[in-house]
A and B are shown apart, each in its own frame.
Chain A
Amino acid sequence: MRRVVITGRGTINALGRDVPSTLAAMRAGRSAIGPLEMRDLDRLTIRIGAQVRDHDEAAIFDRSELALYDRATQFTILSAREAMAEAGLEIASARAERAGVILGTSGGGLTTQDANFRAVYEAGKNRVHPFVVPRLMANAAASHLSMLHNLKGPAFTVSTACASSNHAIAQAVQIIRAGMADVMLTGGAEAMLCFGGVKAWEGLRVMSTDTCRPFCATRSGMVQGEGAGVFVLEDREHALARGATILGEIAGIAMNADAADIVAPSRVGAARAMAGALRDAGLDPRDIGYINAHGTGTTANDRTECAAIREVLGSAADDVAVSSTKSMHGHCIGATGAIELLACLMALTEGVIAPTANWCAADPECDLDVVPNVAREVPVTACLSNAFAFGGMNAVLALVAP
């Protein structure tokens, strides 16, 4: 079977505008959660988030680009540019049909929808910009990456709420394994921190009003973030032939459905997904040094996920480091798996495990090594990245060091 490696990574999120600044923040255990800045904040009860600040879109993109690029698309384009630069890759015309892009998003161009609903319903306008549809459509970011990077192979967007990025990455792995492409850009983006996006989450009553404290006895819920993460995946032989630096290998993937509840997580489904990724990668529980948890900071997720980890890893669960970087970059919904993959690669390439920030008290029902507050230097040769979405749709990635 063809093996799939990562040769480039890019991001923009509340922790930083690129990979080095994001990893520096993760190493420092710095949380980017803070007061939200947005219109009509006084009508929200949830007023915190991990927002990408000082994003001056007009300084980065020209007028015609901005007419087409929703905030989520902008994040994607910036991340892809960084990832392609690290990979040292330009797709020549002769190879274009062997390169593609699969991205994940939950809300797509939600900021564009929010702004235009305001225009027609609140402001009473009877006219919207001609490009509202191509700006808000969920596949817009993938389309723009195909155009910007000459990707003429398989290209599409998947949407599975909080597992969107992991599903997208798993699909990209499958495409390369199947021989349908040699290079895939993949990851995801989310820009849901607009009034309507926060208001919708507020309704669920699972959001924290102070901060995100995963696995902590005093946890008070999840905190939304935003951003993007994009990776260059390559057939290993393709990467070796061109002398690329390999950052890690995606050795295993697993996707499944709880088929149980639209919002409540399932220990059984989560455990099946983790076990499936281990099996697909040919790894033993003892091989896993780090798990980047879904770790939303809700009572339901954290306890269910810890029980699932114990079920799958058995006695090895006592020795594995488990952290939730959502405590720092927030829950970036459809982008979150991509941003969290950066923490996995940091563990594999630098031997640094990003901590669970904001943690203050042990929860007996989350009795794992949750790497509280301080990053840890320890060699890691294999890790898991969990994503368990609303709708009971799970996707877990298993990575190994190059």
Chain B
Amino acid sequence: MAADLRAQVHTILAEQAMIDADDVTDDQAPADLGIDSMGVVEAIFAIEEAFDIQVPFNANAPGAQGFDISSVGAIVAAVERLVAEQHD
């Protein structure tokens, strides 16, 4: 499950950035992938749809609501947490 989730998040971010999923690594920030702030909003929408979760996120204060977008790895961790919280 954890590996699948990570791969799925990587795929969503890769599609947003229009790059190959193999080129996405956990240590990269969205900006490193070429994803701007509205691109992050679009990726979060895709994540919500893919995992059937609600992601608290306000583009005016990214991260302020507990959804850390500082790196791909942080996003994966946040999605794992939200899936666990919202699907039990």
Residues of chain A at the chain B interface (Cβ within 8 Å): 45, 203-209, 219-221, 263-264, 297-300
Contacts and interface: CB of A to CB of B under 8 A. Distances in A.
Interface residues on B, range: 10 to 19
Interface string B49-76: 0000010011111000000000000000
Given A263-B38, A264-B38, A205 B57 contact: yes
Nearest to B38: A263
A-B CB proximity, top 4 nearest = A221-B60, A205-B59, A299-B60, A205-B41
Nearest to A203: B45
A300 B45 CA distance: 20
B61 to A, nearest CB: 6
B58 A220 contact: yes
Contact of B58 (A203, A206, A263, A300): A206
Contact of A220 (B36, B54, B61): B61
A264 B59 CA distance: 12
29 contacts: A45-B54, A203-B45, A204-B41, A204-B59, A205-B44, A205-B57, A205-B58, A205-B59, A206-B58, A206-B59, A206-B60, A207-B58, A208-B60, A219-B60, A220-B60, A221-B58, A221-B59, A221-B60, A263-B38, A264-B36, A264-B37, A297-B60, A298-B59, A299-B59, A299-B60, A299-B61, A300-B37, A300-B59, A300-B60
Contacts of A207: 58
B41 A298 contact: no
A219 B58 CA distance: 11
Contacts of A203: 45
Nearest to B40: A205
B53 to A, nearest CB: 13
